[in-house]
Structure 1
Amino acid sequence: MDLSVAHERNLKIKMLKIYVTQNDVFFKKGFSEQQIHTQLYFRQMDMRDYRNLFFEKKDDLYYLKRDWLNILNKWKYKHVSVDETYKNTSEKFLKKFEAFMDDNQLKVYDKTVFSHFFENIKTEINILHWGSLPVYKDSVLCEYETIPEENLELYYNDFSALNDLYNWIRNMEYWKPSFYGDCNLNIDMKFSVYSRRWGHRDTYYIQRTIDGWLVTFMGERKKAEKDGCGALINNMKHDYIFFPEDDFKDAMSTLWNMADEREMSSGELADKLQNIADWISAIEEAVGKNRPTWL
């Protein structure tokens, strides 16, 4: 499944979670760009890539497209219809699932063992899902071949998927709408890395963007991918800085995702970015000290 499909699904669920707290005319009114951002929690990337998917502009306001409004109304009805039974059903499900885990331990991934358990609880899936309106990570949804709402029984007939639902229900009171990593976007951070070629540390200025990184060095500002490919890696290679490229790319993409998925402050992001620079510097210095003098 493409990541954009998973993200589109999550945006719909998040809008639905807001909608169920509002009256039926909420999505019939027009929204300004600022209201889409602040009231519906569309992040900077969402405003750029998904606003026009869901909304059409009339005069100076944006209106939810009729097809999407019909879907949200249908889903809102499903949520409201299970509201009275959800609390009792979810409490029983948590106990059943925990007992299943205790009894089977390492056998939870055994399809026969899990199928027997699932048969006993599958009639509850509709209530559990529509009652809790789970928001899963885009990357998690991409691991499956279907969106939950397209076929609940098919989606949750898998231990990992049902375990995700269990964790969501158990922790859902801690979920709140958020702009997540928008708080650390487009802020200059230092990336000070040692260069044997010049015998000192060079300082790059790096910003996290909605697509990757923006790198400024020697007066030039260029783009890099989430894993550092492009400007960052090219600059270090140009100065013959030695680094394990695959490990470095993994570290940069991991950090980008960490910063995107939670409200990481720009200070924490800057510290972690410098942690990577210090790691590369230590490798670069060690290589220099141990390099044969005849090379």
Structure 2
Amino acid sequence: MKTTTVELNIFSPRWGHKDTYGVNLTENEMVITQGGRTAKCTSNGESDPIWSIEPLEKILNNDHIYPPSELEDLLEYAWQAWKDGKLTDAEVDTELQAVADWINTMTKAKPNTTFWSSYF
């Protein structure tokens, strides 16, 4: 069975450092883990992928990371391209790292005034 793992380092404003998010890809599942938390996307090839266990956005929000609303779609798109052989293991790693870089850029650019500190 085809499988690969990607490690993404995403900055957590809550903790002040980057946390590692593991992305494990197989032909049927994409599992994203960070610490003891897990989001899973399952595909049966006949319908849209289904996310389960815990919403990915909730895992990120817990660390004060507010990703783009398209994040799950972006991950599914890269996963599908990898499953279809359009991306190699190294290429899917590169593309997911680019998404992590985008999230880090957005996280570091969020409002950082006293007023917003209680919101973020």
Q: TM-score normalised by the shorter chain: which range applies?
A: 0.7 to 0.9
Q: Does residue 115 of structure 2 align to residue 294 of structure 1?
A: yes
Deviations 1:46-87 (A, max 9, x none): xxxxxxxxxxxxxxxxxxxxxxxxxxxxxxxxxxxxxxxxxx
- Show the counterpart of 2:64: 240
The offset of 1:203, in angstroms, is 0.7
- Show the counterpart of 2:102: 279
Q: Does residue 48 of structure 2 align to residue 225 of structure 1?
A: no
Whole-Å separation in 1 of the counterparts to 2:86 and 2:73: 21
Pairing of 1:106-185 with structure 2 (within 5 A): 182=2, 185=3
Q: Name the TM-score, length of structure 2 as normaliser.
A: 0.74
The offset of 1:267, in angstroms, is 1.4
In structure 1, give the amino acid aligned to 2:13.
Answer: R
Whether the 8 Å CA contact 1:213–1:228 is kept in 2: the answer is: no
Pairing of 1:1-295 with structure 2 (within 5 A): 44=1, 182=2, 185=3, 187-218=4-35, 220=36, 222-225=38-41, 229=51, 230=54, 232-245=56-69, 247-262=70-85, 264-287=87-110, 290-295=111-116
Deviations 1:208-236 (A, max 9, x none): 12233122322x36342167944633321
The offset of 1:254, in angstroms, is 1.0
Percent of aligned pairs with the same amino acid: 24
Whole-Å separation in 2 of the counterparts to 1:228 and 1:286: 31
The offset of 1:263, in angstroms, is 5.3
The offset of 1:259, in angstroms, is 0.8
Name the Cα RMSD after superposition: 2.4
- Show the counterpart of 1:26: none
The offset of 1:252, in angstroms, is 0.9
- Matched residue of 2:115: which SS? coil
Whole-Å separation in 1 of the counterparts to 2:50 and 2:74: 9
Whole-Å separation in 1 of the counterparts to 2:50 and 2:22: 13
Note the residue ranges of structure 1 that are not aligned, 5 or more in a row: 1-43, 45-181
Q: Which has the higher helix share?
A: 1
- Report how many aligned residue pairs link the two structures: 108
Whole-Å separation in 1 of the counterparts to 2:14 and 2:84: 37
The alpha-carbon distance between structure 1 residues 224 and 233, as it changes in their structure 2 partners (threshold 3 A), is farther
- Show the counterpart of 2:46: none
Whole-Å separation in 2 of the counterparts to 1:294 and 1:216: 32
By relative contact order (CA 8 Å, sep 6+), the higher-ranking structure is 2
- Matched residue of 1:256: which SS? helix
- Matched residue of 2:67: which SS? coil
The alpha-carbon distance between structure 1 residues 267 and 208, as it changes in their structure 2 partners (threshold 3 A), is same
Which structure would you say has the larger Rg? 1
The offset of 1:202, in angstroms, is 0.8
Note the residue ranges of structure 2 that are not aligned, 5 or more in a row: 43-48
- Show the counterpart of 1:21: none
Whether the 8 Å CA contact 1:212–1:256 is kept in 2: the answer is: no
